[in-house]
Amino acid sequence: MTAALALGDDALVLAHRLGEWAGHAPVLEEEVALANIALDLLGQARVLLSMAGDEDELAYLREERAFRNVQLVEQENGDFAHTIARQLYFSTYQELLYGQLAAGESEFAPLARKAAKEVAYHRDHAEHWTLRLGDGTAQSRERMRRGLDTLWRYTGELFEPVDGLDLDRDALRRGWTDSIGSVLDRATLTVPEGPQRGAWTAGAGRQGLHTEPFGRMLAEMQHLHRSHPGATW
């Protein structure tokens, strides 16, 4: 089922990326915050992947080309501002997406209604950090700007059609653009210029084409299960 895979892979891959901060976050409080967000996403991924098949098999035994996540979520953490930029772009999209799904009657409505509250908090967390980093010191501002600029080219893919998802994509894009514009304005930053897709890369995650860092991430995520099939705690 294409749609469940697409949304489930978004949540799974971003959960893993955020989990990579464990033991490395700038302060203990923020490490817990990022881990909480990661666990929320992992919970969503489990429900969504179970709708598409066996969750463990899908997460641990698929090859890179079989993953259907957008390329935005697979991008490396970079510095903290880079992670926050990725989180702002994605959680703003995910909140609007789940909002639409929750109002509908598809098989995703029950999950969307529950997850919408989690995602609203993820977006709020990213917004507050964007405001503080953007309107903070010269260095925090520069790093936030760099994160937003670098990831901008991956944002176009968020609005591509997904088979099996009945969405008002124009409203999705409009809501996202307004929301991001308003946050960046309050953070005294400007919305990045330039295309929302790369020359060939963006727009392809949903078709199974991924960027270079994704293979390394998958190798780490899957190696335990592949080395010790069926291992449990």
Please report whether residue 128 would count as binding other proteins according to CB under 8 A. Answer: yes
- The minimum distance between CB 29 and other proteins, in angstroms, equals 4
- Taking the C-alpha atoms of residue 49 and residue 12, their distance in angstroms, rounded to an integer, is 9
Please report whether residue 188 would count as binding other proteins according to CB under 8 A. Answer: no
Please report whether residue 26 would count as binding other proteins according to CB under 8 A. Answer: yes
From 27-35, 63-71, 90-98, 175-183, span contacting other proteins (CB under 8 A): 27-35
- The minimum distance between CB 50 and other proteins, in angstroms, equals 23
Contacts (CB under 8 A) with other proteins, residues 29-68: 29-30, 32-33, 36
- Taking the C-alpha atoms of residue 219 and residue 67, their distance in angstroms, rounded to an integer, is 13
- The minimum distance between CB 125 and other proteins, in angstroms, equals 6
Q: What is the DSSP string of 131-169?
A: HHHHTS-HHHHHHHHHHHHHHHTTSGGGGS--TT----H
Cα–Cα nearest to 141, from 149, 74, 178:
149
Angle ∠(114,14,181) on CA atoms, nearest 5: 80
Angle ∠(31,91,79) on CA atoms, nearest 5: 45
From 46-54, 68-76, 122-130, 187-195, span contacting other proteins (CB under 8 A): 122-130
Residues that bind other proteins (CB under 8 A): 26-30, 32-33, 36, 124-125, 128, 132, 136-137
